[in-house]
């Protein structure tokens, strides 16, 4: 099968990342952690396959992810954790919205990531 026919396979578990709402790649793009120029060259993962980031999603619809060890948010500065939870959760919610609308990819990121001309 040609690479383009395989879909987007998770570099961690090897399974298909079937929807943008499950995409760690696009979540990182939406919150400003990934430049749009590297979207096509960056490996894909399921959000839950990146627990160091997924643990910061705080939403009833997203079962909590717990990380043990050095990257456990319970071991980090409380202010940093609060800020990161706010950003990543808002990014995750934005990702859920863009899945249902047809919009240019440049409009996916959160307004503060897009810049001063951002509209939402």
C-alpha to C-alpha distance for 82 and 41, rounded to whole angstroms: 31
Q: Which of 52, 55, 57, 69 has the alpha carbon at shortest distance from 21? A: 57
C-alpha to C-alpha distance for 33 and 31, rounded to whole angstroms: 6
pLDDT tens for residues 79-98?
999 999 999 999 999 999 99
- CA 47-84-119 angle, to 5 degrees, is 85
Cα separation values, 36 from 29, 32, 104, Å: 7, 9, 12
Residue 120 pLDDT > 60, yes or no? no
pLDDT tens for residues 40-77?
899 999 999 999 999 999 999 999 999 999 999 999 99
DSSP letter assigned to residue 48: G
Give the side-chain half-sphere CA count within 13 A for 74. Answer: 6
C-alpha to C-alpha distance for 48 and 36, rounded to whole angstroms: 22
Domain edges within the chain: 3-104
What pLDDT shows up at residue 1?
A: 32
C-alpha to C-alpha distance for 89 and 94, rounded to whole angstroms: 9
R_g over Cα of the chain: 15
Going by pLDDT thresholds of 50, 70 and 90, the confidence category of residue 2 is very low
Contact criterion met (CB below 8 Å) for 41 and 14? no
């Amino acid at each position: 099968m040609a690479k383009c026919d395989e879909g987007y396979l998770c570099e961690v578990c090897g399974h298909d990342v079937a929807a943008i709402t499950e995409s760690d790649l696009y979540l990182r793009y939406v919150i400003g952690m990934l430049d749009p120029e590297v979207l096509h060259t960056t490996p894909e993962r399921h959000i839950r396959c990146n627990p160091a980031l997924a643990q910061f999603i705080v939403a009833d619809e997203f079962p909590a992810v717990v990380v043990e060890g050095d990257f456990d948010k319970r071991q980090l500065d409380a202010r940093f954790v609060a800020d990161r939870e706010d950003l990543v959760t808002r990014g995750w919610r934005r990702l859920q919205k863009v899945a249902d609308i047809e919009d240019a990819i440049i409009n996916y990121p959160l307004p503060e990531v897009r810049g001063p001309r951002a509209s939402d």
